[in-house]
Chain A
Amino acid sequence: MPITHAVEKFSYPECEGDALQVRDLHFSYPDGHSALHGVSFKLCDGDKVALVGPNGAGKSTLMLHLNGILEGKGEIELSGLRLSRDNLPVIRSMVGLVFQNPDDQLFSPTVFEDVAFGPLHMGLPESEVRARVDSALEAVRMSPYKDRLSHHLSVGEKKRIAIATVLSMNPSILVLDEPSAGLDPRARRTLINLLRELPITMLVSTHDMRLVQELFPRTIVMDDGNIVADGLTMDILEDEELLSAHGLERG
Chain B
Amino acid sequence: MHSDAFDRYHHHDSPLHRLDPRVKVVVVIAFILSNALLPDGAWMAFVLAWLFLFLANALSDLGLGYTFKRSFIALPFALVAVTVLFSIPGTPLSQFHFMMWDFTITDAGLLRFVSIVIRSWLSAQMAILLVAVTRFPDLIHAFEHLRVPAILTTIIAFLYRYLFVLTDEVIRLLRARQSRSAAVSGQRSGGGVLWRARVSGHMAGQLFLRSYERSDRIYNAMLARGYQGQLRTLNPHELHARDWAYAIAAFLFILAVQFVGRF
A122 touches B173 (CB 8 A): no
- Chain B residues with Cβ below 8 Å from A92 are 178-183
A69 touches B188 (CB 8 A): no
Classify chain B's interface size.
20 to 34
- Chain B residues with Cβ below 8 Å from A103 are 210
**What CA separation (Å) do A238 and B182 show in the bound complex?**
41
**What CA separation (Å) do A92 and B185 show in the bound complex?**
12
A89 CB–B CB distance under 8 Å:
yes
A67 touches B202 (CB 8 A): no
B178 touches A99 (CB 8 A): no
A123 touches B189 (CB 8 A): yes
Stretch of A107-115, A135-143, A197-205, A225-233 on the interface side: A107-115
Q: Mark A182-216, 1 if CB is under 8 A from B, else 0.
A: 00000000000000000000000000000000000
**What CA separation (Å) do A40 and B190 show in the bound complex?**
33
**What CA separation (Å) do A90 and B183 show in the bound complex?**
5
- Chain B residues with Cβ below 8 Å from A107 are 173, 176-177, 199, 202-203, 206
B101 CB–A CB distance under 8 Å:
no
Closest B residue to A89 by beta carbon equals: B183
- Chain A residues with Cβ below 8 Å from B205 are 109
With A101-B172, A117-B199 already in contact, the answer to whether A169 and B189 are too (CB < 8 A) is no
Q: Which of B181, B187, B206 contacts A124 (CB 8 A)?
A: B187
Interface size on A, residues (CB 8 A): 30
- Chain B residues with Cβ below 8 Å from A118 are 180, 182
Q: Which of B176, B184, B195 contacts A99 (CB 8 A)?
A: B176
CB distance from A193 to the nearest CB of B (A): 25
Closest B residue to A169 by beta carbon equals: B182
**What CA separation (Å) do A109 and B177 show in the bound complex?**
14
Closest B residue to A108 by beta carbon equals: B202
CB distance from A104 to the nearest CB of B (A): 4
B180 touches A151 (CB 8 A): no
A93 CB–B CB distance under 8 Å:
yes
Q: Which of A94, A113, A123 contacts B202 (CB 8 A)?
A: A113
A121 touches B190 (CB 8 A): yes
B10 CB–A CB distance under 8 Å:
no
B252 CB–A CB distance under 8 Å:
no
CB distance from B191 to the nearest CB of A (A): 6
Q: Mark B16-37, 1 if CB is under 8 A from A, else 0.
A: 0000000000000000000000
- Chain A residues with Cβ below 8 Å from B199 are 107-108, 117
Name A51-96 residues within 8 Å CB distance of B. 64, 67, 69, 89-94
A165 CB–B CB distance under 8 Å:
yes
- Chain A residues with Cβ below 8 Å from B187 are 122-124
What is A's interface to B at a CB cutoff of 8 Å? 64, 67, 69, 89-94, 97, 99, 101, 103-105, 107-109, 113, 117-118, 120-124, 151, 165-166, 169
What is B's interface to A at a CB cutoff of 8 Å? 169, 172-173, 175-185, 187-191, 195, 199, 202-203, 205-206, 209-210
> Can you list 29 A-B pairs, Cβ within 8 angstroms, ordered by A?
A69-B178, A69-B179, A89-B182, A90-B182, A91-B182, A92-B180, A92-B183, A93-B182, A99-B172, A99-B175, A99-B176, A104-B172, A104-B176, A107-B176, A107-B177, A107-B206, A108-B206, A109-B206, A117-B199, A118-B180, A118-B182, A121-B181, A121-B183, A121-B191, A122-B183, A123-B183, A165-B180, A166-B179, A169-B182
